[in-house]
Every structure is written in C-alpha cells, then in structure tokens.
Amino acid sequence: MEENKKIPQHIAIILDGNGRWAKNRHMPRNMGHAQGSKAVERVCEDAYKMGVKYLTVYAFSTENWSRPQEEVDALMNLLRSYMKDCIKISKKNNMRVRIIGDKTRLAADIQESIQALEEASKDNTGLHFQVAINYGGRDEIVRAVKKITEKVNAGELTVDEITDEVIAAHLDTAGIPDPDLLIRTSAEQRISNFLLWQLSYSEFYFPEVLWPDFSKEDLEKAIDFYNSRERKFGGLK
C-alpha cells in the first residue's frame, strides 16, 4: 500500500457469493461457506496489517433462517467450529471479537461459545472484529427502541433526551465507529438489512469477485476506490 493512502478506520463486508462459488465448481453449497470462512481469516490479517482498526462482517442474517434446514444446520455447525478456532486466532493475532445480532435465537451451546470468545478476547488491542450473526438492521433498531422505551418508562430517561447519540448507544455496535467503507462481493448492489443506521455516510463498493476468492489484492482495490471518493457528509467542500 502507498504510504499516503487514506486507510478506512472501519470496513464492513457483506460476504456474498459462497453458494455461487460452490455451484461453479459443482460442489455442495456448504463447501462454499467453509471456504468463505477461510477467506474471513485471511482478510482479518490483511486488513489489520494495512492499518484497518475495525472490521465487521455479515455472517448470518435474521432472514437466513428461511433457507433449507440442511443448509442452516451446516452453517450453525460451521459457526460452532469457527467459534472454537477463533479463540486461538484472536489470541494469536491480538484481535478483539464481538458478536452483534440477536443471540437469543441461537442454540445454547453457541451462545456459550460466543460468551467465552468475547470474554477471552476482550482485552486484546489489535483489530476489533465484529461478526453479525442472526443480525438484521431493522431488528437491531427495534431492539434499541425497546431498550430506550423501558428507560423512559422507568423514569431514567425523558423523551426530550433521546438523541442520535442515545440511539447509537443502544445499538449492538455501541462504542464502535460507523463504517467508512462497505464492501459487498459478487457484484450485488444492495445492503440487505445490514447496519441500516451505521451506513448512513459510508462509501459502497461492489466488486464482482465471489467472497471465497476475495484476496489481499481485492482489499487493496477496495481501499483504492475509497481513496477516489470525496466524503462530504452532507456538506460542501
């Protein structure tokens, strides 16, 4: 990377194309998800070495439960395996891992693994890595509104005290800066209910590469694109 390039502080990625990657190779979809998991590990390392401080990936949405049960079960088993491996990976790479989304629908053993991973990595000072599991942007906002409403009803907060900052503090991403850059692989140009609040001023990049093939070079291209943009945040420059 060129020394004078602006590196996004926070990159969010929609991991799209695992199924198509497998289909193109006459493999079961589950193989695509497994390869996609390996790509996540690579990108975490590459992003941190480039200077990215926060990385958030969309792993399983609230809508993904409607997929065939066999695929959902395979994804949950892959998640179980990844959670165990991630404790070692987070320690090796000094990476703090947080899971965002509604964890209550996940199996009890997965919830326990998430708690163990977050606890084991909470003091790490390297890359801040967020994984969205059973996550939906609308669901996140609804849950935040319910929390705020409970505080208003309890007299802990007044309606006039509700601000952008208060809402952000009740989202799953509380304390995490909004993404500077969103990447969605496989050339699909939509955000699919991902980080609806947080992506308000993000730059969007839609490469054709399928997620399992996403490489360091593809990440560099995304950052080049980011550098070509003039961010105005609604103002004039």
Order of strands, edge to edge, in the sheet holding 54-61? 96-100, 128-135, 54-61, 10-14, 181-184, 203-205
Catalytic residue among 24, 30, 64, 94: 64
Tell me the CA end-to-end span of the chain in Å, nearest whole number: 26
Based on the residue annotation, tell me whether 160 is a catalytic residue of this protein: no
33: left (phi over 0), alpha (psi -120 to 50) or beta: alpha
CA distances from 100 to 57, 188, 192, 206 (A): 10, 23, 16, 23
- What is residue 6's three-state secondary structure? coil
User: Which segments within 88-127 are labelled E, that is strand?
Assistant: 96-100
Catalytic residue among 16, 46, 180, 218: 16
Measured CA to CA, the distance from residue 19 to residue 95 in angstroms comes to 28
β-pair type (10-14, 181-184): parallel
CA–CA–CA angle 33, 70, 86 (5° rounding): 40
Identify the CA nearest to 229 among candidates 5, 2, 49. Answer: 5
Based on the residue annotation, tell me whether 16 is a catalytic residue of this protein: yes
Which positions are annotated as active-site residues?
A: 16, 64
